[in-house]
Amino acid sequence: MTRVYLDNAATTPLDKEVMKTMLDVMENNFGNPSSIHAHGREVRTIVERARKSIANLLNTAPANIFFTSGGTEADNTAIRRSVQDLGIKHIITSPLEHHAVLHTAEMLGKYHDIKISHVNIDAKGNIDYNHLEELLAANSNTLVSLMHANNEIGTLTDIERVGELCEQYEAIFHCDTVQTIGHYKHDLSKLKVHFIACSAHKIHGPKGSGFIYVNPKVKINPMIYGGAQERNMRGGTENIYGIAGLAKALSIAYENMDEHHQHIQTLKDYMKKRLMEEIEGVTFNGETAADKSLYTVLNVCFPEMDMADMLLFNLDISGVSASGGSACSSGTNIGSHVLTAIGSSPDKPSVRFSFSKNNTKEEIDYVVTKVKEIYKS
């Protein structure tokens, strides 16, 4: 049976060149990078070359990149250390953030008496920048935690504008860039941000590997104690294979970024057009214009139907892998907090289709045909 994978915002298939890089390290470099003998030094070199490669792509110093287990750890580190080390008493975020941000902020509000403010958003998921400025002006010792692109609906935030506002009001800015690292260029020498997050498996790298960028203007303590790894910032023996794979994946993403952007944007636009032609009453959650939306994500709101809650199941039976919201919460009966926040009708089934460089126009035609068959049955 034909199977089409359109859930790349959840995870991406491992790139073959990334796999080769990781296998080479697995086969030939087993030393502990903290050891001072030759075997250890060889592996330490791999880690530091990866750090330098990533830093060069982001236009920052290698000393500002710290390897983590992924985006969730990076987000937690940024938010929790800001409160515990930087004197933060107020967190501004949005109701659309990933739970790695929202749940961390909620915990800090509950146990550390931190004030939490949610910036207003519109029905497309856009940030109200005037309201953000009002919140910044009314509060001191503030951390702003806003994602670059929403993982469910794709709406982009103007993080340059947010950074300027944070600088104006002397606030700390943390940006969850998990969905955009490797898809857009981030010049950290110019972007006014204190923390960003990356997860390798969103860019055809391995699961369990990522990094946090920490602006040298802020000084934080370790999130994980127990060793001197990552320059005393994260205890624990480094995930060498994951780090090597992460660096290779990001390198490939940057080398081919324009080509992949154009290819994926064409697929997204084509699918949107085909769905509007074939399914009467179909609409889209979030922004879909190319300059306002993450090009890898299309969140489709389908017309009401009998057994709407079975749409994803029927797509899966037809060989189509997609999701109804954030895959990080799959397996629960809780609806999407993002779709709820933007007022999407709970009576209409919504499906997030997310694309990668591997998808084809023929696959889009197949998916649209299967959706049409489901609505006719």
Catalytic positions are 328
Give the length of the chain.
377
Count Cβ atoms below 10 Å from residue 68 Cβ, excluding itself. Answer: 26
Q: How far is CA 233 from CA 137, 196, 221, 225, 244, in A?
A: 32, 16, 7, 8, 19
The number of angstroms, rounded, from the C-alpha of 137 to the middle of its chain's C-alpha atoms is 29
Q: Which residues pair with 234 in a beta bridge?
A: 224
Nearest CA to 33 out of 24, 25, 45 is that of 45
Which residues contact residue 356 at a Cβ distance below 8 angstroms, ignoring those fewer than 6 apart? 5, 8, 12, 13, 204, 264, 296
Which residues contact residue 355 at a Cβ distance below 8 angstroms, ignoring those fewer than 6 apart? 6, 8, 264, 267, 268, 295, 296, 297, 298
Answer yes or no: are the C-beta atoms of 203 and 182 closer than 8 Å.
yes
Type of residue found at 216: P
**CA separation for the pair 214, 232 (Å, rounded):** 14
Q: Return the CA Rg of the chain.
A: 21
Type of residue found at 126: N
Q: How far is CA 352 from CA 85, 339, 371, in A?
A: 38, 11, 13
**CA separation for the pair 31, 226 (Å, rounded):** 19
